[in-house]
């Protein structure tokens, strides 16, 4: 549910080094083709959708490194969402915390879409066989129309924002929309407190970028060209962070040449400085069921923000580096708790959307 990008200057260095004409080689694909394919996956929900239409919307939920670690098993009365262990990220997420948060994001998205079409969904965690999430359809009036309309528009916008403040009324609406029993939301808008979170993000990023295993796992999920991003339908596409595209074979080498802890910290610091605030989601119990709840709350916040024209992006380094969690929890006034998600928010332009895998790759009988 986060993340990393090539340093923009590094992309400029690559262009200067190999020449703009070389980067236009035909096997990169084009952004026009990419945007058309991504737009098709984000087509508006039909007024009388089938279960597969709801599942398509559920796949638009965020996940760590955009791994999309889920499998959908549709039934007559709903959909079960199971973890796809083959898509876990054991270095950055060794206990599958992010994986189950992602299942919660996906389940809430599916339930919102169903509710907007008169089939309100009830979400429940099932601890059997390692854990899964079920969404059971009901019948009734429509709900969460604005949140449903925001589903195909939501994106993790990893860029500098314009620094404008979010109004108190909108902050209250964000908090109300994200209210899920079992999860506490802490909103930080005080600049000094934001700076303290920034320092934790920088410390966490430094630790991660100095970890060869973390960098190796991150590079595995990076997508450097439109063709590569569409071929896999997953991962972190550089263009979705507002950065240059590169041939798939060249991208990893450019990453090695230009991306360092310092270069990434020089990216995150101004991004946080330009943000209107930070939202931190903290579940009341440290287990899979509550990680799912945290994902649900986070997704509702993200969709309400999108409906209000507010961008967001995850900065989860302080919760991904275990040694930093206690300091973050104390900053939040929740000592002894494990924070689940850290999200910055504010106003800024949209970026290219991330790709999604075809439904056939994640729907099971």
Residue 345's pLDDT band (boundaries 50, 70, 90)? very high
The Cα–Cα gap between 61 and 156 comes to 10
**Looking at residue 10, what is its pLDDT?**
42
- In the predicted model, what is the mean pLDDT of the chain? 93
- Please report the pLDDT score of residue 25 as a whole number: 52
Domain identity same for 184 and 253: yes
Which whole number is the average pLDDT over 164-192? Answer: 98
One domain for residues 94 and 234: no
Distance CA 124, CA 359 (A): 23
Number of domains in the chain: 2
Q: Are both 314 and 179 inside the same structural domain? A: yes
Of residues 156, 148, 197, the one with CA closest to residue 177: 148
Same domain, 122 and 249: no
Q: What is the pLDDT of residues 272-295, one digit of tens each?
A: 999 999 999 999 999 999 999 999
| For the chain, percent of residues with pLDDT exceeding 70 | 93
21 has pLDDT over 70? no
* 198/319 same-domain check: yes
Q: Decide if 161 contacts 271 (C-beta within 8 A).
A: yes
Which residue, 149, 144, 175, is CA-closest to 307?
Answer: 149
Q: Which H or E element spans position 107?
A: helix 97-116
Do residue 200 and residue 64 come from a single domain? no
What's the pLDDT tens digit per position in 49-66?
999 999 999 999 999 999
Q: Is residue 160 part of a domain?
A: no
> Is residue 313 in some structural domain?
yes
Residues 189 and 261 reside in one and the same domain: yes
Q: Are residues 142 and 178 in the same domain?
A: no
Give the range of the structural domain holding residue 51, as residue numbers without chain letter.
38-155+354-361
Tell me: do 216 and 123 sit in the same domain.
no
* Cα–Cα distances in angstroms (integers) from residue 329 to residues 102, 158, 298, 323, 339, in the given order: 22, 24, 17, 11, 6
Residue 23 banded pLDDT, cuts 50, 70, 90: very low
Question: Exposed, middle or buried by CB within 10 Å (0-12, 13-18, 19+), for 326?
Answer: middle
Q: What percent of the chain has pLDDT over 90?
A: 90
pLDDT band at 115 (very low <50, low <70, confident <90, very high): very high
Does 111 lie in the same domain as 234?
Answer: no
- pTM listed for this prediction: 0.93
Strands 222-223 and 78-83: unpaired
**Length of the chain in residues, anyone?**
365
Paired with 363 in beta bridges are 72
Q: Tokens for 326?
A: 């206690």
């Amino acid at each position: 549910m986060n993340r990393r990008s090539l340093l923009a200057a590094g992309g400029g260095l690559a262009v200067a080094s190999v020449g703009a004409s070389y980067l236009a080689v035909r096997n990169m694909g084009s952004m026009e083709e990419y945007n058309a394919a991504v737009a098709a996956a984000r087509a508006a929900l039909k007024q009388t959708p089938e279960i597969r239409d709801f599942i398509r919307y559920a796949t638009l939920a965020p996940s760590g490194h955009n791994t999309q670690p889920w499998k959908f098993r549709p039934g007559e009365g709903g959909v079960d969402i199971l973890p796809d262990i083959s898509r876990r990220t054991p270095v950055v997420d060794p206990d599958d915390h992010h994986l189950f948060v992602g299942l919660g994001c996906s389940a809430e998205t599916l339930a919102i879409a169903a509710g907007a079409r008169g089939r309100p969904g009830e979400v429940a965690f099932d601890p059997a066989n390692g854990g899964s999430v079920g969404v059971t359809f009901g019948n009734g009036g429509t709900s969460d129309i604005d949140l449903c309309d925001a589903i195909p528009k939501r994106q993790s916008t990893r860029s500098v924002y314009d620094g404008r403040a979010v109004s108190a009324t909108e902050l209250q609406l964000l908090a109300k929309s994200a209210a899920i029993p079992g999860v506490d939301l802490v909103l930080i808008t005080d600049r000094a407190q934001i700076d303290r979170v920034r320092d934790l993000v920088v410390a966490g990023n430094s630790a991660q970028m100095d970890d060869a295993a973390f960098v190796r796992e991150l590079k595995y999920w990076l997508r450097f060209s439109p063709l590569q991003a569409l071929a896999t339908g997953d991962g972190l596409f550089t263009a979705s962070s507002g950065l240059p595209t590169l041939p798939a074979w060249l991208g990893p080498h450019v990453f090695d040449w230009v991306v360092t802890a310092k270069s990434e910290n020089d990216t995150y610091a101004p991004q946080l400085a330009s943000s209107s605030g930070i939202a931190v989601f903290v579940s009341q119990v440290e287990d899979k069921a509550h990680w799912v709840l945290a994902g649900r709350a986070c997704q509702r916040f993200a969709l309400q923000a999108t409906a209000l024209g507010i961008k967001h992006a995850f900065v989860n380094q302080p919760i991904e580096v275990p040694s930093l969690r206690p300091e973050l929890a104390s900053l939040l006034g929740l000592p002894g708790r494990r924070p689940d998600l850290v999200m910055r928010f504010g106003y800024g332009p949209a970026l290219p959307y991330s790709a999604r895998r075809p439904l056939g790759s994640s729907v099971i009988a």
